[in-house]
Amino acid sequence: MSDQHNPYGRAAAAYGNTASTADPRALEGQVLLKAAAHLEELSRRIKSGEKVPLEDISKAVDYNRKLWTVFASDTANPDHPLPKELKNNIASLAMFMFKTSIAVLVTPTPEKIQPMIDINRTIASGLMKVPKPPPPPAPADARKGAPLPQKQSTAPEKPTENPSGKKGSTDSLV
Residue 96 sits in a domain whose CATH number is 1.20.120
Q: Backbone phi, then psi, for 151, in 5-degree steps?
A: -75, 130
Q: Is residue 1 domain-resident?
A: no
CA distance linking residue 88 with residue 82, whole number of Å: 10
Alpha helices per DSSP H over the chain: 7-19, 24-47, 54-76, 84-106, 110-128
The reported pLDDT for the residue numbered 90 is: 95
Q: In the chain, how many domains are there? A: 1
Q: Is residue 40 domain-resident?
A: yes
Q: Is residue 135 domain-resident?
A: no
Q: Is residue 79 domain-resident?
A: yes
Q: pTM of the full predicted structure?
A: 0.64
Per the CB < 8 A criterion, the answer to whether 97 and 119 are in contact is yes
User: DSSP 3-state assignment of 48?
Assistant: coil
Residues of the chain with pLDDT under 70: 1-22, 130-131, 138-174
Q: Is residue 42 domain-resident?
A: yes
Q: Is residue 21 domain-resident?
A: yes
Residue pLDDT, tens place only, 103-146: 999 999 999 999 999 999 999 999 888 667 777 776 665 555 55
Q: Is residue 139 domain-resident?
A: no
The reported pLDDT for the residue numbered 98 is: 97
**Domain with 77 in it:** 8-128
